[in-house]
Structure 1
């Protein structure tokens, strides 16, 4: 199996493209920030955490993003991660455990908002889904809507994969996403990252 790799804006994260589905068509991604989360949801992610220096795994529809510790070099992590991904996908083993959800959904439900606030949240979610998420997925990450505070106009987003801990994530949030949301949704005052 030939697996392409791509650098991401986060020097500690690398995107692995196996040329076949990982989570599959229509899946938007699943983040495993700890070995415990991987053990609970994905055998593939758990095997990647067994590679010395791996600190995070993000599974996309057709890619895997691996995040490493600053203390180790890609020279040591990359070959081992390539081997795990190739062996796992070649064997045809299930990527997720039974019952694992393939998407980090919003932390709040639309039912929590009424009237104009609900319309505002629907606009925010639509912009994130159609304009933001595809762009950050190209860089091996994901950004998910968590909450909107109507009183202050603050939108809270969660960063995953290569976006989590990326040095340019603050610029992406402020100069990119915040400006986009403010342009289309005047009620938005600012954007904040949350865990």
Structure 2
């Protein structure tokens, strides 16, 4: 029996319904209405719900964008149950003869971040369900897009999450000279069905780290810190094209170690964010003025 897991996204109108197994292989499908969804019986059924605006299917999840007539809290459980019932009764998610990803018009725009060395390229649809960082071309096996981007001489690091690609450049280059080329390349790559992130390769230590596989075995304070970072900190830094990962907590020294990714890594304001933002938040929420936060790579 298939069991659906509900996951929030950075966009409050979009919710992800995750499957325990992959439902597509290296393919992504986006449907804006019931007519476009003729190759997906499940998507067609979902469009009968009056609040469904669009359906996106990729990897092991279905993402649904809602109209503002409802709040997800009021309907998400019913939607998850409907998807479960459909699949458990043998319903088809994507027809087998649909072997090619349909070319979809894609919009990409550049967005500045607090880090002057990093620009965030935002796509008008989700491109991955996993946050992942690449320091060099040798790490890019999971991401054909990242591999292509490293062929540009000015690309230093890449961070990909949900609906954006953060690119960090070398200091000797100016964004005014390279932004248009990067934006156009990313747009055409995605529009032509290129793979942004191959979910089959998501087994790297960095990805596993984010999942905190041993969460249940951690001490209570570490669990509280992870929950605070997930709920309050990650959405804020993600809006700036970055990410923060919990590394460890030393109960004796009251020291929290984190890893900064994307725009956060190397950002001039990251120290201020850590000390005045995250550290003060943890002190307040954990009721412990001795808490200290430090970045392993910041």
| Conservation of the 8 A alpha-carbon contact between 1:178 and 1:191 | yes
Distance 2:201 2:116 in 1: 33
Question: Does residue 1:18 correspond to 2:123, yes or no?
Answer: yes
Change (3 A) 1:17 1:89: same
Query: How far is the alpha carbon of 1:50 from its aligned partner?
Result: 1.0
Distance 1:77 1:189 in 2: 42
Distance 2:265 2:196 in 1: 22
| Conservation of the 8 A alpha-carbon contact between 1:136 and 1:163 | yes
Give the aligned partner of residue 7 of structure 1: 112
Query: How far is the alpha carbon of 1:52 from its aligned partner?
Result: 1.9
Per-residue CA shift, 1:20-55, capped at 9, x if unaligned? Answer: 1121xxx351111222112x2211111111112110
Matches within 5 A, 1:128-143: 128-143=229-244
Which sections of structure 1, spanning at least 5 residues, go unmatched? none
| Conservation of the 8 A alpha-carbon contact between 1:58 and 1:141 | yes
Query: How far is the alpha carbon of 1:185 from its aligned partner?
Result: 1.2
Matches within 5 A, 1:45-60: 45-60=146-161
Change (3 A) 1:28 1:135: farther
Distance 1:107 1:191 in 2: 19
Q: Which has the higher contact order (CA 8 A, sep 6+)?
A: 1
Normalising to structure 2: TM-score of the pair? Answer: 0.59
Give the aligned partner of residue 202 of structure 2: 100
Give the aligned partner of residue 119 of structure 1: 220
Question: Does residue 1:194 correspond to 2:296, yes or no?
Answer: yes
The CA RMSD measured in Å over matched residues stands at: 1.9
Query: How far is the alpha carbon of 1:107 from its aligned partner?
Result: 6.9
Query: How far is the alpha carbon of 1:142 from its aligned partner?
Result: 0.3
Matches within 5 A, 1:139-158: 139-158=240-259
Give the aligned partner of residue 34 of structure 1: 136
Greater share of residues in helix: 1
| Conservation of the 8 A alpha-carbon contact between 1:51 and 1:77 | no
Of 179-188 and 134-143, deviating more is: 179-188
Distance 1:152 1:110 in 2: 21
Larger Rg: 2
Matched residue count: 187
| Conservation of the 8 A alpha-carbon contact between 2:109 and 2:183 | no
Per-residue CA shift, 1:101-157, capped at 9, x if unaligned? Answer: 5945167833553xxxx1111110110000000000000000010111111110000
Distance 1:106 1:21 in 2: 20
Runs of 4+ off more than 6 Å = none
Which sections of structure 2, spanning at least 5 residues, go unmatched? 1-105
Query: How far is the alpha carbon of 1:176 from its aligned partner?
Result: 0.3
Normalising to structure 1: TM-score of the pair? Answer: 0.88
